Amino acid sequence: MSVTEEMLAAYADGALDPAAAQEVEAAMAADPALARKVEAHRGLKAMLSAHYAPLAEESVPPHLAALLVPKDAGEAPAEVVSLAAARQKRGLAPVVRRWAPLVGPALAASLILALWQPWQGRTPDGYAGGDLAAALDTQLVADQPADAPTRILLSFEREGGDLCRAWRASDEGGIACRDTTGWKIERQFALGEAQGSEYRQAGSETDLLAAAQDMAAGGALDADAERAARERRWAKP
Amino acid sequence: MKRTSPSVSSAERRGTLSESFENQVLGLLPRLRRFAIGLAGSRADGDDLCQMTIERALARRDQWQEGTRLDSWMYRIMRNIFIDEGRATTRRRETFVDPDAGLSVGGEGGQEAAVELSMVDRAMARLPEDQREAVLLVMVEGWSYKEAAEIVGCPVGTLNSRLVRGRDALMAMLEGAQ
């Protein structure tokens, strides 16, 4: 019996040279069990292909693509030193960790706090007005001033295509989504004073980001997508 | 036709050498990410593995020789990082993730498909790392045995026997699901 398990599998993969393939075919003709084994190998391959193929069709997360654009186009995401370290990310909850490389620079910059001025003016109940509305309308995560009183943490689309943005100021933050009236405030959080280094944040800011992740239909918008959304005046794409 | 989007104009400011390297890596990312998620067993860990791979590739770009295949070079970097990190990853998975809970990294489908897909995830998670990478490289990523052996850095015969053991284990675990 010269046909090995390795040869059967390689035959199923089409990886044998013609002489060896003929040998396997002869053995299969003589022994139906071998033919069934080859079929099982092919079935397994089809199953694995079907399982993993959709992953390569997904769009790449923006924070990974961002590593491959010129440095001057945006701030570099935080380096992942090891998988274990990335997981812990100094206490960030797992739900937030995936977005941390994207929002990290905004969080860090938000630690340089200027005076927070509550917005004023007459706006419909439940909608952002004044300075907050202006920040939501105009500021981009990638190029907002480091000392902006209101920092945009990230922008995303929710189910249905509405554009939403998470912001934080010194002691509060929230999520607002754009509709025909304006920026409707969907969530609001009282936030502790941000302090310490890079990723140490008030627990409730973690809640804010987790809430954003729950609302988002996909990932956060990257710099180009956010700029395009602003040019559309935050209308649905 | 000239495009004027911001990404194109910023790319034009760069030298052609580095531009082609980064764009080529970008083009490989969907496949690399699939391999990473398959190896690591979850999207979050797979994306972290992708990030480390990109960072290492950028840092060592001068070690890649133009004219040689960039894709196999990138796969090699990724599997080396994964194997280096492997012990910590495995330990964590055993501690925090019940393999029976299912990791569901695959595509979406009907309810029946979803059940079947999570069985694949569970079965893959139970394979030893060397068998899992052999299975992914050949049966999912489509590398020849010889190419896969070069990526792993082992003789073809070794790759072949890991692949067969991995296949047999998967077929035993997935019996009836096909």
Residues A63 and A88: their CA atoms lie apart, in Å, by 18
pLDDT in tens, A87-114: 555 344 444 444 444 444 444 444 333 3
Q: Quote the ipTM score.
A: 0.76
A195 inside domain: yes
Taking CA atoms, what residue in B is nearest to A47?
A: B178
Asked whether residue A237 is assigned to any structural domain, the reply reads: no
Write out chain A residues lying below 8 Å of B12, CB-based: none
pTM for this one?
0.55
User: Same domain, yes or no, for A37 and A79?
Assistant: no
pLDDT given at position B135:
97
* A15 plus A125 within the same structural domain: no
User: Tell me, what CATH number does B75's domain have?
Assistant: 1.20.140.160
* Domain tally, chain B: 1
Q: Is residue A190 in some structural domain?
A: yes
Alpha helices, DSSP H, located in B41-155: 43-59, 70-96, 111-126, 129-135, 145-152
Q: For the segment A122-169, what is each residue's pLDDT rounded down to a tens digit?
A: 577 888 888 888 899 988 888 887 777 888 888 889 988 899 999 888
Determine the pLDDT at residue A88. 53
Q: Tell me, yes or no, whether B31 lies in a domain.
A: yes
Q: What is the pLDDT of residues A209-221, one digit of tens each?
A: 778 888 888 878 8
CB contact under 8 A, B160 and A47: no
Please tell me whether residues A15 and A87 are part of one structural domain: no
Distance, C-alpha A155 to centroid of its chain:
11
Spell out which residues of chain B touch residue A56, defining contact as CB-CB under 8 Å.
30-31, 33-34
Number of domains chain A contains: 2
Q: What pLDDT score was predicted for residue B153?
A: 96
| Domain membership flag for residue A143 | yes
Q: Are residues A109 and A136 in the same domain?
A: yes
Taking an 8 Å cut-off on Cβ atoms, the answer to whether A15 and B145 are in contact is yes
Give the residues of chain B that fall short of pLDDT 50.
1-19, 91-104, 106-117, 178
In this structure, the answer to whether residues A105 and A16 fall within a common structural domain is no
Same domain? A137 vs A52: no
In contact, A42 and A12? CB cutoff 8 Å? yes
pLDDT of residue A172: 81
Measure Cα distances from A116 to A87, A173, B23 in Å.
Answer: 33, 12, 42
Query: What pLDDT score does A216 carry?
Result: 85
Interface contact B107-A79, CB threshold 8 A? no
pLDDT of residue A68: 86
Range of the domain at A34: 5-57
* Side chain identity, residue B161: S
Among residues A156, A149, A155, which one has the least CA distance to residue A172? A149
CB contact under 8 A, A98 and B50: no
- Cα–Cα–Cα angle for A84, A85, A90, nearest 5°? 130
Is A189 inside any structural domain? yes
Q: Looking at the domain assignment, is residue A236 inside a domain? A: no
Confidence (pLDDT) at A120: 40
What residues form DSSP beta bridges with A77?
none
Residue B68 lies in a domain: yes
Interface check for A51 against chain B (CB to CB < 8 A): the answer is yes
Closest chain B CA to residue A46? B139
Instruction: Flag whether B11 is in a domain.
Output: no
Residues A33 and A79 both lie in one domain? no
Interface-testing mutation among A7, A44, A60, with chain B (most B C-beta atoms within 10 A):
A44
Mean pLDDT score of chain A, rounded to an integer?
76
Q: Could you report the per-residue pLDDT of A18-69, keeping only the tens digit for each? A: 999 999 999 999 999 999 999 999 999 999 999 999 999 888 898 898 888 7
Domain housing B76: 16-173
How much is the pLDDT for A150? 87
Whether residues A96 and A187 share a domain: the answer is: yes
